[in-house]
């Protein structure tokens, strides 16, 4: 009897331990909470939106990143290559440059690194024509230079001036739309607390928006939604903003919520179809854009910001800069330059496979573009430069160009200038004679005004931050 009781006691005790153990295992892990940067409400660590203010949390990743000061911290462990999928052109130039077989390959049109085979030589990063590869140790982080902004995308050094979209450091169209909306929501909130100085005080606008890309359009629509007196200034035309996109195809992996318009979905769209979408949004909402007005300066005048464009001066209580990161490209001044076959930058070099491409320019960016394009199957590349020789090109690029010329993959036309761009040909003046060159695409890489020096002239502080590298399956503005 005692034996039975002993066994029974052990059985009950064992069952109790099992039940307690299973309860412990079945208990779900508590989700880590964090504060919404905008309203400070508690949100789950894996949340995409704040449940309190509905702000998309991804939009704050860069503005809340810590500023890197001092010298770079020492690295631990061996170096290895990292590819930014949002920048990779898929041109394949990196593959033959790598001395380690199988360390890097083009998979699904994007370069991928095999970390087991990568030895950190860095030859792939040196060869990459678009700067999409860099070396790191440990975490996949990159140091970037960006404007110093608050969580509301307002400059910490120039009060009242906001920077959104690609110029703020993030190129995703989704982020650009979200940032434009969030900035104007903050503008409306702070202006509501100030005495009204809009329509009745010397034509002062509540907000001037510079740029009519995705961030600028979103900001303008949100300004209408909040009843603000706004003005959108665009240095070219709406078509120019789309033409500067480096990608021939623009992908949205998810619908975007555009103010006053609703959900916007564009799947595998050409730049031309995206232009039609923007035009539809503008027509539906009545958004007004003043084109051919290039902003040259912004200075504080008492309670307002004065925005100058040539002989014109506009005044506003707040200014939102929604310009592209690539700045203002220098134009050729040739007839036909507005054709959709012309690009000022490129990312998806494989999209030009089998085409007859003319690259215009004599600097490193032009040579690097030509080299990447020449690596595409069936693509014939001609490099046109008005100078007598390539004097501004780095030695490594010059060596690669000489090798490509010797191999017949790139033809050069020194002392030439583009006079006219037609649908299927380009008219060049070469050594005093007009020449017709059969052509499908023109890539113009002749420089322009970089945006960050412009920001610094306005007083916007540029800082360095470390960000985690994303490898998104959706589109970038490039």
Instruction: Based on the fold, state whether residues 226 and 303 are members of the same structural domain.
Output: yes
pLDDT at site 249? 53
101-115 tens-digit pLDDT: 999 998 877 888 998
- Strand pairing partners for 147? 462
Whichever domain contains 197, its CATH number is: 3.50.50.60
47 domain residue, yes or no: no
What DSSP string runs through 367-436?
HHHHHHHHTSTT-EEEEEESSSS--SS-HHHHHHHHHHHHHTSEEEEETEEEEEE-SSEEEEEETTEEEE
CA gap 399, 158 in Å, rounded: 45
Same domain, 319 and 267: yes
pLDDT at 248: 56
Cα gap 215→258, rounded to integer Å: 10
Q: What is the pLDDT of residue 76?
A: 60
Question: Do residues 426 and 420 lie in contact, with contact meaning Cβ atoms separated by under 8 Å?
Answer: yes
pLDDT at 361: 93
Q: Is residue 57 part of a domain?
A: no
Residues 126 and 210 reside in one and the same domain: no
How far is residue 253 from each of residues 54, 288, 315, 364, measured CA to CA in Å? 20, 29, 39, 33
Give 60: exposed, middle or buried? Use CB within 10 Å, 0-12, 13-18, 19+.
buried
State how many domains the chain has.
Answer: 3
Q: Is residue 238 situated within a structural domain?
A: yes
6 assigned to some structural domain? no
Same domain, 279 and 339: no
pLDDT in tens, 391-443: 888 888 889 899 999 999 999 999 999 999 999 999 999 988 999 999 999 99
Q: Please state, in angstroms and rounded to a whole number, the distance separating the CA atoms of residues 466 and 354.
A: 39
Residues 16-42 as b/e (b if ≥16 CB within 10 A, e otherwise) read eeeeeeeeeeeeeeeeeeeebbbeeee
360 with 301, same domain: the answer is no
Contact status, residue 133 vs residue 142, Cβ threshold 8 Å: no
Do 457 and 421 belong to one domain?
A: no
Which CATH number fits the domain that encloses residue 97? 3.30.70.20
Q: What is the pLDDT of residue 238?
A: 72
- 264-288 per-position pLDDT tens digit: 555 555 666 777 777 888 888 888 8
Separation between Cα atoms, residue 211 and residue 278, nearest integer Å = 13
Of 116, 114, 314, 366, which Cα lies nearest the Cα of 209?
314
Q: Is the pTM of this model over 0.75?
A: no
Examine the domain organization and report whether 436 and 356 are in the same domain.
yes
454 shares a domain with 435? no
Say if residue 338 is in the same domain as residue 235.
no
Is residue 407 in some structural domain?
A: yes
Distances (CA, A) of 136 to 4, 57, 77: 66, 27, 9
Domain of 418 in residue numbering reads as 331-446
Helix (H, G, I), strand (E, B) or coil at 179: helix
Asked if residue 381 and residue 247 are part of one domain, the reply reads no
Is residue 73 in some structural domain? no
Question: Which residues of the chain have a pLDDT value below 50?
Answer: 1-2, 4-7, 10, 13-14, 16-30, 198, 200, 251-253, 470-478
Q: Are 227 and 243 in contact (CB under 8 A)?
A: no
User: Looking at the domain assignment, is residue 290 inside a domain?
Assistant: yes
First-last CA distance in the chain: 82
Query: Is 299 in the same domain as 369?
Result: no
Task: Of 288, 291, 200, 203, give the one whose Cα is nearest residue 239.
Answer: 291
Does one domain contain both 244 and 341?
no
Strands 230-233 and 205-210: parallel
Largest CA distance in the chain: 117
Length of the chain: 478
Q: What pLDDT, on the 0 to 100 scale, is given for residue 471?
A: 41
Domain boundary among 89, 113, 136: 136
Considering only CA atoms, which of 242, 238, 261 is closest in space to residue 250?
242
In a domain, 141, yes or no: no
- What is the helix (H) or strand (E) element at residue 407, kind and residue range? helix 395-407
């Amino acid at each position: 009897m005692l034996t039975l009781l002993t066994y029974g006691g052990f059985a009950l005790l064992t069952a109790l331990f099992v039940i307690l153990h299973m309860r412990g295992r079945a208990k779900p892990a508590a989700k880590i909470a964090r504060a919404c940067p905008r309203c400070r409400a508690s949100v789950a660590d894996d949340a995409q939106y704040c449940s309190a203010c509905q702000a998309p949390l991804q939009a704050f990743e860069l503005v809340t990143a810590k500023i890197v000061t001092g010298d770079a911290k020492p690295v631990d462990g061996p170096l290895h290559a990292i590819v930014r999928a949002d920048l990779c052109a898929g041109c394949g130039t990196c593959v033959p440059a790598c001395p380690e077989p199988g360390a890097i390959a083009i998979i699904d049109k994007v370069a991928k690194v095999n970390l087991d085979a990568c030895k950190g030589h860095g030859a792939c990063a040196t060869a990459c024509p678009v700067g999409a590869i860099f070396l790191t140790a440990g975490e996949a982080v990159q140091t970037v230079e960006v404007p110093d902004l608050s969580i509301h995308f307002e400059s910490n050094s120039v009060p009242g001036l906001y920077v959104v979209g690609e110029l703020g450091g993030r190129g995703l169209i989704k982020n650009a739309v979200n940032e434009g909306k969030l900035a104007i929501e903050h503008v409306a909130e702070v202006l509501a607390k100030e005495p009204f100085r809009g329509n009745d005080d010397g034509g002062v606008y509540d907000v001037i928006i510079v740029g009519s890309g995705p961030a600028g359009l979103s900001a303008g629509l949100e300004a209408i939604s909040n009843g603000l007196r706004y003005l959108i200034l665009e240095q070219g035309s709406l078509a120019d903003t789309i033409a500067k996109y480096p990608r021939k195809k623009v992908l949205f992996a998810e619908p975007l919520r555009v103010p006053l318009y609703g959900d916007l979905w564009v799947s595998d769209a050409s730049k031309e179809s995206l232009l039609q979408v923007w035009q539809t949004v503008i027509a539906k909402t009545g958004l007004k854009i003043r084109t051919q007005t290039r902003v040259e300066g912004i200075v504080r005048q008492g309670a307002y910001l004065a925005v100058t464009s040539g002989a014109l001066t506009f005044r506003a209580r707040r200014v939102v800069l929604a310009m592209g990161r690539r700045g203002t490209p220098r134009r050729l001044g040739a007839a036909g330059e507005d054709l959709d076959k012309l690009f000022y930058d490129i990312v998806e070099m494989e999209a030009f496979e089998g085409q007859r491409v003319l690259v215009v320019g004599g600097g490193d960016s032009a040579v690097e573009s030509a080299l990447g394009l020449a690596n595409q199957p069936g693509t014939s590349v001609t490099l046109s430069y008005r100078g007598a020789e390539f004097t501004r090109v780095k030695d490594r690029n010059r060596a690669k160009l000489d090798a490509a010329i010797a191999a017949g993959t790139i033809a050069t036309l020194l002392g030439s200038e583009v006079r006219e761009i037609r649908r299927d040909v380009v008219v060049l003046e070469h050594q005093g004679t007009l020449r017709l060159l059969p052509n499908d695409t023109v890539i113009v890489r002749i420089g322009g005004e970089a945006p960050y020096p412009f920001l610094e002239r306005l007083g916007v502080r540029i800082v360095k931050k470390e960000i985690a590298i994303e490898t998104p399956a959706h589109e970038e503005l490039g």
